[in-house]
Amino acid sequence: MRVGLVGAGPWAEMAHAPMLAKSPEIEFAGVWARRPEAAARLGAPVFERIEDLFDACEAVCFCVPPAVQAELGVKAARAGKALLLEKPLADSLDGAQRLADAVAEAGVPSQMLLTLRYAPQVREFLSRCAEIEPFGGHAVNVSDVLSGEHPFGTPWRLQRGALLDVGPHVIDLLDAALGRVTGVRAHGNPLGWVGLLLDHEGGAVSEISLCMAGTGDLPPSTFAVYGRTGNVTLPHFDDDPLEVVAAEFAQTVRQGDGHPLDAAHGLRLQRIISEAENQVTTP
């Protein structure tokens, strides 16, 4: 399967390009980026026009800021290309809706890079959660992305903070562990410390603490779920699940039957994040 890459920033260089180059099921067809000199470092043909990249591939992998993904993802979907999308789906709920609608209207496969969900440790964690009749849980994610010279301290992260960046990963995992999120209450500051209280289908509740302004020696993220017959804690791990991401994306495109982490799922996460942002940014 020929896959093109849109974007050539630090994460594209560290993760996306190696993932595409190493996968035995994918041919890395080329790169388009706003900075051709950065694209040239990724070990694949560089295209001056994104339309030419679309013509050279069956599917497109995105590694660009959320607002750019919302715009160019629509173009790729309308060109009939399968989409491997970063989180969040877009920078706004309107942008996420337009992209999800374009994917649905074009009938193209889509899959989101919610990387935690591809790790075997997480899949075992979720399998165990399903066995304990869960009624509650909590998660904490603290990093130093906003605190200084960090390679991922990109403009959109510096402006929007933890809710838009880390929120999709954490909300998605508790959604999978405890049931679909039906409500959210938020307080704090996405550029400092922000807390979420989630309601889930079936009556479970969960709490999330997010911060990207930490300093010093920071602890690993924690996820714990409690149930009527036991409790489960996600162990810390450093495994890279990108090989699984690539294999599942190839299968999604080949079979054409969709993926649980598709654009429609990304839109649902964006609705939760948008509601939370409204609560913490509106007096």
Spell out the domain ranges in the chain. Answer: 2-115+241-261, 120-236
| Separation of alpha carbons 47 and 53, rounded Å | 6
Q: What is the mean pLDDT of residues 203-230?
A: 96
Q: What is the mean pLDDT of residues 241-246?
A: 97
Q: What is the mean pLDDT of the chain?
A: 96
- Please say if the pLDDT value at position 283 is more than 60: no
Q: What is the mean pLDDT of residues 206-220?
A: 95
* Weakest mean pLDDT among 1-15, 83-97, 148-162: 148-162
* Weakest mean pLDDT among 32-46, 94-108, 142-156, 197-211: 142-156
pLDDT band of residue 176 (cuts 50, 70, 90) is: very high
Q: What is the mean pLDDT of residues 53-57?
A: 98
* pLDDT attached to residue 177: 98
In 77-213, where do the E strands start and end?
A: 82-85, 110-112, 134-142, 181-188, 193-200, 205-211
Residue 232: CB atoms within 10 A of its CB come to: 22
Reading the block at residue 227, the tokens are 């149930």
Q: Which amino acid is at 49?
A: R
* pLDDT attached to residue 201: 97
Of the CATH numbers 3.40.50.2300, 3.40.50.720, 3.40.50.300, 3.80.30.20, which one belongs to the domain with range 2-115+241-261? 3.40.50.720
Classify the C-alpha dihedral 7-12-13-17 as positive or negative. Answer: negative
* pLDDT attached to residue 282: 64
Give the contacts of 92 (CB within 8 A, at least 6 positions apart): 67, 70, 274
- As a CATH number, domain 120-236 is 3.30.360.10
Q: What is the mean pLDDT of residues 10-27?
A: 96
pLDDT band of residue 41 (cuts 50, 70, 90) is: very high
Of 88, 123, 130, 86, give the one whose Cα is nearest residue 237: 123
3-state helix, strand, coil in the chain (%, to 5): 45, 25, 35
Peptide bond into 88 cis (omega under 30): yes
Q: What percent of the chain has pLDDT over 70?
A: 99
- Please say if the pLDDT value at position 136 is more than 90: yes
Q: What is the mean pLDDT of residues 134-156?
A: 91
pLDDT band of residue 191 (cuts 50, 70, 90) is: very high
